């Protein structure tokens, strides 16, 4: 049995892997030769909408770059939409190098730069919002091609409806290029798109990874062997999992990531992405990583890049993770980090200056980190509501980060045994077929509220009738009219005490719009009903930049308002001024509506990068005595 202090101290490879490890290295530099599916996609998108379904890391971004080149040559504009701010940052940096900074802009919740550029990179929600703005103004959106990256997000339970809205409402004159991980029903998606858009489209498929992937198992003593073969799990892995030491690993214990890094370094398996369970795990992992000796050139480049970046974004000076970044060549990357700190981590990883990043599964969605290996510590992930087993698509995306085209001859996925790990499930998922794309338009109270915050009842009707869900129901031999009726019945169920005429489902929608603040379920307390009314009355005012008075007597500015478990939450920043010689980091506090005393009339025009120095100057002129509260009417209609 390997003692805790001896774990990962004897790195070695199983004899069966000798020829595999001999392939480790960087391909010889040569002229890039695109695969046939890439050439086909670029050719087809000149005349038709195109859906590309290919494995993660196969070169779908190259298709986007060539398509953008061809549209720019014609004087046309392009909108590149991605699901994540991190991916948008990565793509924006890449496109700025490809097309020149003046040609590119970025629009996310954190960054707004060069918004009128011919090539815009941003999140899908921003694109959706622009579509609605154009529709309400009676104009067409100002772009000629939309590229939807990570198009399989259409199946995302929480955000898939946004992708569906974009696909339904995007004008047919705008060319559409969808880039997706491998899915099992691309033809069905394209048949629906042809129906709702009225234009021809083509499917381009690729099943092969350009860089081979080998899945390994890391034993506690440092031995690396194959996870399994066509016959099943490796006998050595099975024996370990059934041993006393293997069963002991099913208990939660502290993981020494620094030792695992040292083990991978000796086996030439770095750089690596470590996928961890939570943001806290990512931050705590840095503490276990010791100082590493670096070549003088690398150390000089790292310090120079960090110094220049902090000079441009001074609110990052003194960041608590700068020391492990520079000393240990590791970074923590997740949604809780400051936006421009994540940009710095992304730049350093892309320049080959980091040995590893510790990340939640968000990085799996397309950020182009040049990692030779990915390291898996759990076979589940948080889906927004609970921890659930990985799906085949989710796992394929994670391991797809290993071995980037043109950067590695071979990539590796390492399975590390532990409390949250099921190696047998990982093995099974690796050979499982891809998930199909499924519509996520399912009527419940939360979706009803979200839809009616941005739609009229007639627009909700139109969305339901044209949805992928209605199309799929009809394709299964069902009646899409019956499906629509079922959805309206679910709407009715959210308001069992509704006083309107429920025989007309769209009158019911109007009623929900008026009372979207509460789900008046039987037995719901008067207190919760009153809270719901206050949500509906307050939400229109709680826009970014709005000032409000907290019940603690402090004044806050709103950065974002959102619904969470039927509670209205504001991400707010305390604007009180503190005299200090040290730069302060921008911190946002989660404030429930119930904690807000007064919403003020005043709106602050927030700067795009949320620099603390800029904010301090902006808030200096705010005087509490000059603020006037808004009278919020919470009376029931």
112, 122, 187, 222, 418 from 609: Cα distances, Å = 8, 15, 42, 44, 40
Percentage of residues in the chain having pLDDT higher than 90:
45
- Rounded distance, CA 263 to CA 255, Å? 14
Q: What is the pLDDT of residues 119-164, one digit of tens each?
A: 999 999 999 989 988 887 888 899 999 999 989 889 888 888 899 9
**3-state class percentages of the chain: helix first, strand second, coil last, to nearest 5:** 40, 20, 40
Residue owning tokens 């404030």:
591
Highest average pLDDT, of 318-322, 394-398, 529-533, comes from 318-322
Q: Coil, strand, or helix at residue 470? A: helix
Sketch the domain layout of the chain as residue ranges: 4-24+211-277+360-430, 36-205, 289-352, 445-516, 531-626
What is d(CA 127, CA 106) in angstroms, rounded to the nearest whole number? 11
**Which residue carries 């993770």 as its tokens?**
321
For helices 468-475 and 457-466, what crossing angle results, to 10°?
Answer: 40
Residue range 213-239, pLDDT digits in tens: 999 999 999 999 999 998 899 999 999
Helix axes 392-399, 423-430, angle to 10 degrees: 90
Higher pLDDT, 527 or 546: 546
Bridge partners of 414, per DSSP, are 216, 375
pTM for the full predicted model: 0.69
For every residue of 480-533, DSSP letters joined together read: HHHHHHHHHHHHHHT-TT--S-TTSHHHHHHHHHHTTT----TT--HHHHHHHH
Question: What is the per-residue pLDDT for 448?
Answer: 64
pLDDT of residue 496: 47
3-state secondary structure (DSSP) of residue 341: helix
pLDDT per residue as tens digits for the range 34-87: 999 999 999 999 999 999 999 888 889 999 999 999 999 999 999 999 988 878
Q: Which residue has the higher pLDDT, 64 or 519?
A: 64
104-112 long-range contacts, Cβ below 8 Å, gap at least 24?
108/339, 109/85, 109/560, 110/85, 110/339, 110/340, 110/609, 110/610, 111/85, 111/339, 111/608, 111/609, 112/608
- The dihedral of CA 411, 415, 421, 423: what is its sign? positive
Q: What average pLDDT does the chain have?
A: 84
Helix (H, G, I), strand (E, B) or coil at 376: strand
- For residues 519 and 443, the answer to whether their CB atoms sit within 8 Å is no
Residues in the chain: 637
4-24+211-277+360-430 with 36-205: one CATH topology?
yes
Q: Which CATH class is domain 4-24+211-277+360-430?
A: alpha beta
Which pLDDT value is given to residue 228?
94
Fold topology of 36-205: Rossmann fold (3.40.50)
């Amino acid at each position: 049995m390997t003692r805790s202090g001896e774990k990962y101290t004897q790195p070695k490879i199983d004899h069966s892997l000798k020829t595999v490890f001999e392939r480790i290295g960087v391909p010889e530099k040569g002229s890039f030769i695109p695969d046939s599916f890439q050439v086909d996609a670029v050719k087809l998108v000149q005349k038709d909408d195109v859906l590309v379904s290919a494995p993660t890391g196969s070169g779908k971004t190259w298709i986007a770059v060539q398509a953008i080149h061809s549209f720019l040559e014609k004087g046309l504009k392009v909108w590149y939409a991605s699901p994540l701010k991190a991916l948008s940052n990565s793509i924006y940096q890449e496109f700025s190098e490809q097309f020149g900074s003046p040609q590119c802009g970025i629009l996310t919740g954190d960054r707004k730069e060069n918004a009128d550029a011919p090539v815009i990179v941003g999140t899908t929600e921003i694109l959706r919002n622009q579509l609605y703005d154009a529709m309400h103004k009676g104009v067409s959106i100002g772009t000629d091609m939309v590229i939807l990256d990570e198009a399989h997000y259409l199946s995302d339970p929480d955000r898939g409806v946004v992708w569906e809205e974009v696909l339904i409402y995007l004008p047919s004159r705008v060319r559409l290029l969808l880039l997706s991980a491998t899915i099992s029903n691309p033809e069905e998606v394209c048949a629906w798109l042809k129906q709702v858009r009225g234009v021809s489209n083509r499917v381009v498929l690729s099943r092969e990874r350009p860089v081979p992937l080998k899945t390994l198992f890391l034993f506690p003593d440092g031995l690396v062997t194959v996870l399994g073969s066509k016959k099943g799990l490796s006998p050595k892995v099975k024996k370990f999992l059934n041993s006393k030491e293997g069963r002991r690993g099913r208990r939660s214990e502290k993981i020494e990531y620094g030792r695992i890094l040292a083990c991978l370094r000796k086996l030439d398996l770095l750089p690596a992405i470590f996928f961890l369970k939570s943001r806290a795990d990512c931050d705590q992992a840095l503490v276990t990583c010791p100082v590493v000796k670096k070549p003088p050139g690398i150390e000089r480049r790292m310090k120079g890049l960090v110094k220049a970046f902090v000079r441009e974004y001074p609110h990052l000076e003194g960041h608590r993770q700068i020391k492990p970044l520079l000393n240990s060549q590791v970074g923590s990357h997740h949604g809780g980090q400051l936006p421009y700190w994540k940009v710095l981590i992304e730049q350093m990883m892309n320049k080959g200056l980091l040995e590893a990043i510790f990340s939640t599964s968000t990085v799996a969605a397309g950020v182009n980190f040049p990692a030779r290996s990915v390291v898996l510590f759990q076979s589940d992930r948080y889906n927004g509501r609970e921890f659930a087993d990985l799906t085949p698509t989710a796992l394929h995306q994670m391991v797809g980060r290993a071995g980037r085209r043109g950067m590695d001859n071979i990539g590796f996925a390492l399975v590390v045994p532990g409390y949250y790990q099921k190696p047998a499930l990982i093995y099974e998922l690796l050979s499982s077929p891809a998930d199909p794309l499924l519509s996520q338009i399912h009527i419940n109270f939360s979706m009803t509220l979200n839809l009616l915050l941005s739609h009229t009842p007639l627009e909700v009707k139109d969305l339901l009738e044209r949805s992928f869900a209605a199309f799929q129901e009809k394709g299964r031999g069902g009646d899409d009219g019956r499906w629509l009726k079922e959805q309206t019945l679910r709407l009715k169920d959210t308001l069992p005490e509704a006083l309107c005429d429920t025989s007309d489902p769209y009158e019911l929608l109007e009623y929900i719009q008026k009372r979207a603040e509460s789900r008046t379920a039987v037995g719901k307390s008067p207190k919760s009903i009153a809270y719901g009314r206050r949500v509906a009355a307050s939400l229109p005012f709680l826009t970014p930049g709005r000032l409000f008075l907290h019940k603690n007597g402090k004044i806050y500015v709103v950065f974002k308002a959102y619904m969470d478990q039927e509670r209205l939450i504001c991400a707010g920043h305390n604007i009180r001024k503190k005299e200090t010689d040290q730069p302060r980091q921008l911190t946002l506090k989660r404030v429930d509506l119930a904690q807000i005393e007064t919403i003020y009339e005043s709106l602050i025009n927030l700067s795009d990068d949320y620099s603390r120095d800029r904010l301090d100057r902006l808030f200096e002129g705010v005087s509490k005595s000059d603020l006037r509260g808004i009278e919020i009417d919470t009376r029931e209609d």
